[in-house]
Amino acid sequence: MPGNIASAQAAPAAPPRRLALLVLAVFVVAGVSVVVLNNPGLVRFWPFSAGEFVQALTPLVLIALFIERALEVFITGWRGGGEKALGAAVKDGSAAAIDLVAYKSVSRRAAFTAAVLLGITISAIGVRALELFVDPAVFAALTSAQRTVFRVIDVVLTGAVLGGGADGMHKLVSVFTNFMDRTNANLKGGTP
């Protein structure tokens, strides 16, 4: 019994992951509350064609490619030697393959974190995705709080998309253009 009390008293604090989710939840609830309390107007997006959509997202795809390549150079310089050494040790049988997998996992996590942080930084300086598609007159008519929350969400969302890499952006563009092509074909009475 005393052992159980001691282990219950020595319970660890909330893990950082849980704390981050809690902070994010509080941030979202606070942001939504501020906007709702200010009676928000609707955010209207421009009507645009598939070509205009691709044209608007092309700079983001290029930036995502730059981020991927830059991080590849830095991560390879920083962690590449250790990965090669572990790979050779695995081939020789002096190291377990699990060590190599764990090493690569740490490298991937570091690259992902750096990519998202770099994406958010780039987005914060003005390269954003959602604001490209919003009608400026409608955006100017929104409350100050709603514009602020919109921009913060746009920075985080665009940063995550940029950090996710060019392949994900390419898939997003492909899904949209395929949808638009099918919609146009259906409107014209043809088959996609």
pLDDT at 33: 76
Residue 38 lies in a domain: no
Higher per-residue pLDDT: 118 or 172: 118
Which of 20-34, 143-157, 170-184 has the least mean pLDDT? 170-184
Q: What is the pLDDT of residue 121?
A: 95
Q: Per the structure block, which two tokens stand in for 138?
A: 């409608």
Residue 13 domain-assigned (yes or no): no
Q: What's the half-sphere exposure (Cβ side, CA atoms, 13 Å) at 192?
A: 9
Residue 142, domain member (yes or no): yes
Tell me how long the chain is: 192
Query: 181 CB contacts (<8 Å, ≥6 apart)?
Result: 50, 192
Give residue-wise pLDDT tens across range 64-115: 888 988 888 898 888 888 888 888 888 887 777 888 888 889 989 999 999 9
Over the stretch 29-40, which tens digit does the pLDDT of each residue have? 887 777 667 666
pLDDT for residue 145: 79
pLDDT of residue 118: 94
Range of the domain at 132: 45-182
Check: CB of residue 163 under 8 Å from CB of residue 115: yes
Spatial CA neighbour of 184 closest among 59, 51, 93, 84: 51
What pLDDT shows up at residue 190?
Answer: 54
Q: Residue 30: inside a domain, yes or no?
A: no
pLDDT at residue number 80: 85
Higher pLDDT, 176 or 155: 155
pLDDT value for 23:
86
157 exposure class (CB count in 10 Å sphere: 0-12, 13-18, 19+): middle
What is the domain count for the chain?
A: 1
How high is the mean pLDDT of the chain? 80
Could you read off the pLDDT of 8-35 as tens digits, one per residue? 454 455 577 888 888 888 887 887 777 6
In this prediction, what percent of the chain has a pLDDT beyond 90?
14
* Residue 157 pLDDT grade (very low, low, confident, very high; cuts 50, 70, 90): very high
Please check whether residue 148 lies inside any domain of the structure.
Answer: yes
Residue 46 has pLDDT above 50, yes or no: yes
Structure tokens at 3: 């052992």
